[in-house]
Amino acid sequence: MTVMQADFHPAVAGWFHARFGAPTEVQTRAWDHTTLRRHALIAAPTGSGKTLAAFLSAINELVLQGLSEGLADEVHVLYVSPLKALSNDIRKNLQEPLAGIRNGLIEMGLPDVGIRDAVRTGDTPAAERERMRRTPPHILVTTPESLYILLTSDSGRAMLKSVKSVIVDELHAVAGSKRGAHLMLTLERLEALTARPPVRIGLSATVKPLDAMARFLLGQRDEPVAIIDAGHIRERDLALEVPRAPLAAVMANEVWGEMYDRLAELIRQHRTTLIFVNQRRIAERCARHLAERLGEEHVTAHHGSLAREHRLKAEQRLKAGELKALVATSSLELGIDIGEIDLVCQLGSPRAVNAFLQRVGRAGHAIGAIPKGRLFPLSLDDLLECAALLDAVQRGELDRIRTPEKPLDVLAQQIVAETACREWPLQALFDALRRAEPYRALTLSEFEQLVQMLAEGYTTRR
């Protein structure tokens, strides 16, 4: 008997086998824990099936509950993504399994349990938000900032108090910044709201050290968290592209021209190419020069300063195969669904091994595919960095992620937000918020001083 036959409803297992055949190793190992409602950190490269590794157990729970007692109008599963675009992609990608499982239930003569899902981000129209308030979805897809805002309103808190599972995607992308500390405090506030602590599932690229990332996910709790590490050492097709002319401190115009010619040649050899650059102005310049060589209809730029409509159109055109190449900043580094990418090129040093692996992982996204990447150094310093980076990748080295230590500005914001919603004894609020891993070293004295400053104001008088 397979793990799916043993742990999943036949309609769920049937859809999965019809769509994918056998589960990946990551999925099998993850389901050993998530089907038992255990906390888990799933660390795996892009294209390993880790999204379904996290989601399918939660969907299975909804199916079983719906068949046994019906599903109440309340949120059961909360999915948190660092990007609005990624949230929208996840919701789209949920439609296939939900529809397939629905059809499987009907074919078995069972009722449709009616699992609903919805996205709540800053782009969600007011009418859709009102619809969510009246009839909450069973699966809510959101961002850290929108989750924080939901927890500041009575209607949002009423909707979230029933959450049983929390899935945090791209955990590595927020762990090293104050945004990650903010999210962990938000999850502690959510847990204080729920009748029973939700199970936490984190999805991450493989980073170092993974045990620290697991602690970051779970916080200060005496509960085990399973680490499913698929490893980051995999077959990759990587190479350094060095111009014929010698590199110097600044790249000469003729060397830029040679690089654009080589990029155009590589683009012609592949169906779709994603080109990463480190600055928005270089993205625009590179897209313009490549358009001159390949045609404006085949190349465009993608970065945060462009209008949302332009970015969405560029993503859709690339996914549909209408674009040959897209020049992007880190705006496309995370797992937004842009279809199958054959080649990733990086102009200039990406500065970090983790970022490079994340970017190259956009090529060969499908399970079993081989990522293909090319590094183009833009200066002599870049050449040294890129050579060292490729050597680190070959040796399996990773950058170490360092989480921020008790950022008090973030804590102050969360204290104000939480106490505006309900009254707390000072010690109880301290105990609740200190469970967030970035605040493990926070003292009661520091907390009291911060609360006093918030209550009485801050003066510069000595």
Band of residue 304 on the pLDDT scale cut at 50, 70, 90: confident
For residues 322 and 284, give the distance between their C-alpha atoms in angstroms, rounded to a whole number.
Answer: 19
Give the mean model confidence (pLDDT) for residues 109-129.
Answer: 94
Q: Please determine whether the domains at 3-229 and 237-395 fall in the same fold group of CATH.
A: yes
Residue 43's nearest CA partner among 168, 174, 207 is 207
Read off the tokens for 142. 């959101």
For residues 92 and 118, give the distance between their C-alpha atoms in angstroms, rounded to a whole number.
Answer: 10
For residues 216 and 180, give the distance between their C-alpha atoms in angstroms, rounded to a whole number.
Answer: 9
Higher pLDDT, 108 or 319: 108
Q: Give residue 1's pLDDT.
A: 45
Length of the chain: 462
Give the mean model confidence (pLDDT) for residues 364-368.
Answer: 67
Q: Give residue 204's pLDDT.
A: 93
Residues of the chain above pLDDT 90, percent? 76
- DSSP state for residue 401 in the 8-state scheme: P
Give the mean model confidence (pLDDT) for residues 343-370.
Answer: 87
Lowest mean pLDDT among 48-57, 147-156, 189-198: 48-57
CB 230 within 8 A of CB 41: no
CB 435 within 8 A of CB 189: no
Q: How far from chain centre, in Å, is Cα 64?
A: 28
Lowest mean pLDDT among 27-41, 117-131, 353-367: 353-367
- DSSP state for residue 367 in the 8-state scheme: T
Sign of CA dihedral 425, 427, 429, 431: negative
For the chain, the average pLDDT equals 92
For residues 39 and 167, give the distance between their C-alpha atoms in angstroms, rounded to a whole number.
Answer: 10
Q: How far apart are the first and last CA of the chain?
A: 73
For residues 368 and 48, give the distance between their C-alpha atoms in angstroms, rounded to a whole number.
Answer: 8
Q: Give residue 443's pLDDT.
A: 98
The yes-or-no verdict on residue 461 having pLDDT over 60 is no
Burial class (CB in 10 A: 0-12, 13-18, 19+), 275: buried
pTM metric for this prediction: 0.88
Band of residue 131 on the pLDDT scale cut at 50, 70, 90: very high
237-395 carries CATH number 3.30.390.50: no
Q: Return contacts of 13-18, CB within 8 angstroms, 24+ apart.
A: 14/104, 15/97, 15/100, 15/101, 15/103, 15/104, 16/52, 16/56, 16/97, 18/100
Residue with tokens 């397979």: 2
CATH number for the domain whose boundaries are 3-229: 3.40.50.300
User: How do the domains of the chain map onto residue ranges?
Assistant: 3-229, 237-395, 408-456
- The three-state secondary structure class of 84 is helix
The yes-or-no verdict on residue 76 having pLDDT over 70 is yes
Q: Kindly state the helix (H) or strand (E) to which residue 178 belongs, with its residue range.
A: helix 178-193
Residue 81's nearest CA partner among 63, 55, 101, 99 is 55
The yes-or-no verdict on residue 263 having pLDDT over 80 is yes
The yes-or-no verdict on residue 5 having pLDDT over 90 is no
Residue 363's nearest CA partner among 273, 299, 260 is 273
Q: Give residue 323's pLDDT.
A: 96
Give the mean model confidence (pLDDT) for residues 437-444.
Answer: 98
Give the mean model confidence (pLDDT) for residues 82-105.
Answer: 88
Q: Give residue 75's pLDDT.
A: 98
Query: From its phi and psi, is residue 167 left (phi > 0), alpha (psi between -120 and 50) or beta?
Result: beta
Distances (CA, A) of 318 to 92, 151, 274, 299: 17, 36, 9, 9
Q: Max CA-CA distance within the chain?
A: 77
Beta bridge partners, 301, equal: 327
Band of residue 364 on the pLDDT scale cut at 50, 70, 90: confident
> Residues with Cβ < 8 Å from 274, sequence gap 6 or more?
318, 325, 326, 328, 332, 338, 341, 343, 344, 345, 359, 362, 363
Read off the tokens for 35. 């089907």
Band of residue 367 on the pLDDT scale cut at 50, 70, 90: low
Residue 312's nearest CA partner among 302, 322, 321 is 302
Residue with tokens 């990733």: 344
Read off the tokens for 402. 């360092």
